[in-house]
Structure 1
Amino acid sequence: MTGHEHDASMDESDGVERTDGGTAGGTDDVALDPWGSSTVEDYRKLFEEFGIESFDDVLDSVSQPHYLMRRGVIFGHREYERVLEGMADHNAAVLSGFMPTGDPHIGHKLVFDEIIWHQRHGADAFSLIADLEAHSARGLDWDEIETHARDYILSLLALGFDPEAGELYRQSENREVQDLAFELGIETNLSELQAIYGFDGETDVSHMQSVVTQMADILYPQLEEPRPTVIPVGPDQDPHVRLARDLAARMRTFKVTEAYASFETDESNRELLGAVYEQLDGEDEAVVRCEAAAEFVAEQYSAPELESSLRAAGKEPLRHRVRFLDRNADEETFTALIDAIDGEKRVYEGHIDAFDLGRTDAHELAREIEVEHGGYGFYPPSSIYHRFMTGLTGGKMSSSIPASHISLLDDPQTGYEKVKSATTGGRDTAEKQRELGGEADDCPVYELYAYLLADDDDDLATTVYEECVTGERLCGDCKEQAAVLMREFLNDHQEKREEVEPLLDSLDIGL
């Protein structure tokens, strides 16, 4: 399979095959670079071009949603419904990793909070230090990595991560991740990495290895048992998520689809055949034959390949069935699946058709047989997406521009002064501000309230916004309030870091 092809993953809740918006590389209209400085001017484009779904669609299903969810900071998802169902059954996981290239800052706190919220709501939580990636993709030496890794873990613990109920690890120390990365590498090729990440002849092998290691990280929570897993990310990391979903599907022993005749079709023709079946079935009591369906397709649609397949099938009845396609099954596993299917079935060289089995039960059965015979049974990883924080100086928040961000290690007074110096969405004069109102939607200081400083107080975030856009609130007073809150937050956070520091020695992670 080349990088320009896409192996669709299966939504096992409704049996609909999802292609996640094309190849893992996406389109050129919105560039998403996991190692660059991606920004997204219009988040709505991501819904259209990359298959990301609006988080508003699932918000009502979330019990006690985090304020980042309520305020639209978490704006999109992929198959998050499955994770919500898993958390309700205490059978779900959350994972995110941190590349230790600098101090943890308030942008990283978004992801820390998302991990901790999922842990407190029933998901097994995994957090990792991507030290191999930092060394290979960013060229950091190991001494720098050691220092930054320690700081990331301390902030995560200080914010409430429970290390006894979760797992912290480093890529370089986790042999299971490295072994899984080796297996995933068998299913990944150079042309695919070139298409997704723009790798070329100058890209070193270690950088390529770091990609499959990240894929192993994403699937690691499912090694002991398959379960829905969510990866909280910024949209620039979506190429990683889509590649991981593809690899999860390629590692499966069986693929489950719907079918209507003994021959196999591509996805578009399968959908068309389903529509034809719905139109012809029930018109009268006679059995619908494939040759009759071919005539119908010839009259109503332009689908020569499907028409030809139907004619070749002749008088075979057109019947709905669930199909198990052999992806990686050995003879013993294939036979075990045949024996496990109850009711009417047909066995072919590369697939099995079951006529009395629903889609959800078919997926569960395929996974059960796969795991019993040594397979992984991976669920395609789900994901949620948060907006980028605007830098305090405008533009993207960047670790390499100290004035653009507030480090979680900044002296509290330094944090106060950075906020006081921040760019705002205010007007040129106080008179214009009172007359026209401020532009809170384009204000880095308002973002500080919404993303961090208001914490769980939605009333405060709403008041700041409404007073700004109506002209009641002026930027000087607003920044003063935000600066004081920032100083208090940093002081409190750093005290908690000191409190949890003794925990580091008890963690099973080398620092």
Structure 2
Amino acid sequence: NRLWRRGIVFAHRDFDKFLNSFEKGKPVAVMSGIKPTGDFHLGSKLTVEQIIYCQKAFSGKLFYCIADLEAFADNGQSLETSAEHAIQNTADLLALGMDERNALVYKQSENKAVSNLAFIAARKTTLATLDAIYGHQNLGLYFSALMQSGDILQPQLKEFGGPKHVVIPVGIDQDPHIRLCRDLAQKIDPHFLPPAATYQRLFRSLDGTTKMSKRDPLNVISLNDEQELIKKKVMRALTGGRATAEEQKRLGGEIEKCVVHELMFFHFQDDDMALKKFQERCTSGGISCGDCKKEVAQKICSYLKNFQERKKKLLPKARKMLEKQ
């Protein structure tokens, strides 16, 4: 898997214990979720690819939370709006390869077990602890953090087979949530195992200034973007190009600065040899940044066109999955 081969997944907590449990034939699980405030983007895709790899490689049941209560607490978004986004996000999961036969996709607002765990967690947590982790916030956001702990610990409940190793694939910026839950696990139930986590590098926004985020729509590639918009966004993206065409030919591009290279490295070139040739063409001055952007934009457009066609067919299945609850 390219995420591990290329060091995109670069750190972990207790993943070795998760692997050891799997190798002994014990049941394991995978857990993740999303705040349903919009379309999946390339950063979301990266996490989902890691989740789906773990689901299939380790035969672990996937627990996927639609964090509609967090969307209300953090963004003031109604549960009705979140429900519409939830259908879209679930179709994204299916189109990216999630095996729905071994998955539970649920909304926080409809999951009593998670709420119960969050209330128990609240009894084991002080305001000072939450303030130290998250800074001064309203109580809704503090309780959202406890709901996340409930989400993470839910796979270890009796109705899901009891205590087991659970892995949460996340970006490194999510580590505070993982650490809080690891601290709470055995305070809530002495039989619970502290959750494991794998951490991926953050995927940069197209201007290279921060991580890709729904909050900055001009610098994010959404999985639902139209073809012409994708091309425009890629053509605006930060590169490692030199000041002049002559310098570019003589010195080559600086790929370590280039977001366009990162699009290929993180997402759109699985073949390592093909990626190496792509890199060498840049660093040897064999291609201009403009021509490179056009090639990459075309590759992204082709991928997302196929993805969007798959997703459209899967929307009824996504709606049915969420209606079952």
TM-score when normalising by structure 2 = 0.93
CA apart distance, 1:246: 0.4
In structure 2, C-alpha distance between the alignment counterparts of 1:93 and 1:378, rounded to whole Å = 13
- 2:229 is matched with which residue? 414
Q: 2:247 is aligned with what amino acid?
A: K
Which structure has more relative contact order (CA 8 Å, sep 6+)? It is 2
Map of 1:171-190 to 2, 5 A cutoff?
A: 171-190=108-127
Map of 1:467-478 to 2, 5 A cutoff?
A: 467-478=281-292
Q: 1:427 is aligned with what amino acid?
A: R
Q: 1:83 is aligned with what amino acid?
A: F
Closer, same or farther in 2 for the Cα pair 1:86/1:242, shift >3 Å? same
- 1:128 is matched with which residue? 65
State the Cα deviation string for residues 347-389 of structure 1 (Å, max 9, x = none): xxxxxxxxxxxxxxxxxxxxxxxxxxxxxx1111111111111
Map of 1:477-488 to 2, 5 A cutoff?
A: 477-488=291-302
CA apart distance, 1:86: 2.9
- 1:168 is matched with which residue? 105
Q: Is the helix fraction higher in 1 or 2? A: 2
- 2:35 is matched with which residue? 99
In structure 1, C-alpha distance between the alignment counterparts of 2:324 and 2:239, rounded to whole Å = 42
CA apart distance, 1:72: 1.2
- 1:266 is matched with which residue? none
Q: In 1, are the aligned partners of 2:88 and 2:315 still within 8 Å (CA)?
A: no
2:256 to 441, 446, 449: 441
1:490 to 304, 314, 318: 304
In structure 1, C-alpha distance between the alignment counterparts of 2:101 and 2:18, rounded to whole Å = 22
- 1:378 is matched with which residue? 192
In structure 2, C-alpha distance between the alignment counterparts of 1:496 and 1:395, rounded to whole Å = 32
CA apart distance, 1:471: 2.4
The structure with more radius of gyration: 1
Q: In 1, are the aligned partners of 2:87 and 2:315 still within 8 Å (CA)?
A: no
Closer, same or farther in 2 for the Cα pair 1:111/1:477, shift >3 Å? same
- State the aligned residue count: 319
1:86 aligns with 2:45: no
1:399 to 207, 214, 224: 214
Closer, same or farther in 2 for the Cα pair 1:510/1:445, shift >3 Å? farther
In structure 1, C-alpha distance between the alignment counterparts of 2:120 and 2:213, rounded to whole Å = 35
In structure 1, C-alpha distance between the alignment counterparts of 2:75 and 2:249, rounded to whole Å = 47
Closer, same or farther in 2 for the Cα pair 1:250/1:217, shift >3 Å? same
Q: In 2, are the aligned partners of 1:415 and 1:490 still within 8 Å (CA)?
A: no
- 1:427 is matched with which residue? 242
The CA RMSD measured in Å over matched residues stands at: 1.7
| Percent identity over paired residues | 40
1:73 aligns with 2:73: no
CA apart distance, 1:207: 2.0
Unaligned residue ranges in structure 2 (runs of 5+): none
In structure 2, C-alpha distance between the alignment counterparts of 1:503 and 1:174, rounded to whole Å = 20
Runs of 4+ with >6 A deviation: none
In structure 2, C-alpha distance between the alignment counterparts of 1:378 and 1:492, rounded to whole Å = 42
In structure 2, C-alpha distance between the alignment counterparts of 1:505 and 1:138, rounded to whole Å = 24
Closer, same or farther in 2 for the Cα pair 1:222/1:92, shift >3 Å? same
Q: In 1, are the aligned partners of 2:69 and 2:79 still within 8 Å (CA)?
A: no
Map of 1:267-346 to 2, 5 A cutoff?
A: none
Q: 1:106 is aligned with what amino acid?
A: L
